[in-house]
Amino acid sequence: MEVRRRAPLPPPPGRVQAGDALPLPIRHTNLIFSALFAASLAYLMRRWREKIRSSTPLHVVGLAEMLAIFGLVASLIYLLSFFGIAFVQSIVSSSDDEEEDFLVGPARGSSAAAAVAPPPPPSSPAQLLAAGSPPTCLDDQARGLPAAAAGIRREAVRRITGRQIEGLPLDGFDYASILGQCCELPVGYVQLPVGIAGPLLLDGQRFYVPMATTEGCLVASTNRGCKAIAESGGAVSVVLRDGMTRAPVARLPTARRAAELKAFLEDSVNFNTLSMVFNRSSRFARLQGVQCAMAGRNLYMRFSCCTGDAMGMNMVSKGVQNVLDYLQDDFPDMDVISISGNFCSDKKPAAVNWIEGRGKSVVCEAVIKEDVVKKVLKTNVQSLVELNVIKNLAGSAVAGALGGFNAHASNIVTAIFIATGQDPAQNVESSHCITMLEAVNDGRDLHISVTMPSIEVGTVGGGTQLASQAACLDLLGVKGANRESPGSNARLLATVVAGGVLAGELSLLSALAAGQLVKSHMKYNRSSKDMSKVIS
């Protein structure tokens, strides 16, 4: 059986060599400096021999000798550098290859002999691709070509798995913008449609709310709620609290000792000192308070601080670390188990967030007129109030819900989070919401409110700096940091999220009360390959 061998790949054109910075080819440069070294040395030796014979001092030199000495030193430096760089570069390359092999692992399908004594792994992208190993995320920064590395990594994944990923886009994305902060080992990006709901008339301003989602009817339903709110005079919001939390856990020798540390942290006399230590981490971080809880000899310390326009997890973590280092002097027996002890609580449903709040605590309300309820929402006030009590309040209580006394707040929160570059995983606590409906003005109009104690958003950092997400923030007028009033952009974004939830709750409850939910989903949430039917 004839075995066909793959032709070796040519060396990549972008590989950097030691002599690339020289104006001449390396062989010509070597020849010039070698000749200069030999000529300078021969001339100086001949001159020094003549001086010795004539008893002339060696330190008395003329212009020609000075030039010869300069040429000798320059050529010697070049030759030593040339061979030294080659030697050092070979050592560095071998160490880098060993690190790459450790991070990436052996190629799939390698033989047993190769596993016993593997050859030195290649260092160029093309060679890594040929070897069946995708470049690591460190390659992106080392080569300065993140887009090219993403393409090579993508092809390597295709060869290793044998599966096509043609539907995953590769081109048209700025991979340099995610290095070191958003995503590692990229092989493409996922496209999500972004719809606009609005105008949302909130606190006297009109907002067009971007929503990234793949769920049919969601944007349309939220848009209907925005219409009902606008035709009734708009909604009003208020931010009750603004503080991100982080709760380290420390173990003390005894429960009594843990109680002493708890008393120290919660004593108002010590707060100013703790604030000074905490606030050193950032010019925006400001410690608000410390709440402690004990479990045996383990102490959970929940620090809360304002974080400007950033969502603030990294900021508050650095401040907490400063305080822990400070406490270590007075409590040397304190053993810090983790910078996060889940009393924060981040990305998990927790009663502490529902009661105490985390991020921005927002209430948003509106009074919907009777004629708008009938004309736009296709239902009546009494049906909506009854449905909210039985479904959102009693039904959620029967289910043992924690912060889930609403119809679908998570739908709107997640869609806005993705569109504006927030952390989608934080929709868990950010979607905590209780929706309240009651008849007002002698039962004619509807008062609706949503109370959301832990909306965690920011307008700087993380995914907010990506082009698409920054554009959505700019659409809302909250892009970046507010220099005049730090934190106001993030708070405004939180109120927009709450206003969007208010609109979504109003529309969905109306659809349920009118029995239109299934009909609307069958109309708008069912794909059809027959475009003529869609057009008709």
Assigned token pair, 35: 């000749």
Task: State how far the Cα of 187 lies from the Cα of 169, in Å rounded to an integer.
Answer: 9
Taking alpha carbons only, the member of 374, 486, 361, 330 closest to residue 429 is: 361
Q: Is 194 left (phi over 0), alpha (psi -120 to 50) or beta?
A: beta
Parallel, antiparallel or unpaired: strands 404-405 and 433-440: parallel
Residue found under tokens 């030195």: 120
The Cα–Cα gap between 532 and 528 comes to 9
Residues 380, 510: Cα–Cα separation, whole Å: 8
DSSP per residue, 21-71: GSSS-HHHHHHHHHHHHHHHHHHHHHHHHHHHHTT--TT---HHHHHHHHH
Q: How far apart are CA 442 and CA 253, in angstroms?
A: 63
Q: How far apart are CA 426 and CA 417, in angstroms?
A: 9
Over 476-512, what HEC string results? HCCCCCCCCCCCHHHHHHHHHHHHHHHHHHHHHHHHH
Q: Which residues are catalytic?
A: 215, 347, 423, 521
- The Cα–Cα gap between 118 and 143 comes to 25
DSSP 176-187: GGGTTTT-SS--
Q: Quick one: 291 exposed, middle or buried, by C-beta within 10 A (0-12, 13-18, 19+)?
A: middle
Q: How far is CA 9 from CA 101, 119, 388, in A?
A: 20, 17, 67
In whole angstroms, what is the distance from residue 54 CA to residue 72 CA? Answer: 24
Please list, residue by residue across 320-331, b when 16 or more beta carbons sit within 10 angstroms of its beta carbon and e when fewer do.
bbbbbebbeeeb
**What ranges make up the beta strands (E) of 183-332?**
194-202, 205-212, 236-246, 249-251, 286-295, 298-306
The amino acid at 284? F
Contact 227, 510 (CB under 8 A): no
Cα 502 to Cα 89, 420, 437, 490: the distances in Å are 62, 19, 11, 18
In a 13 Å sphere around the CA of 339, the CA atoms on its Cβ side amount to 12
Residue 423 Rama label (left phi>0; alpha psi -120 to 50; beta): beta
Length of the chain: 536
Whether 493 contacts 476, CB under 8 Å? yes
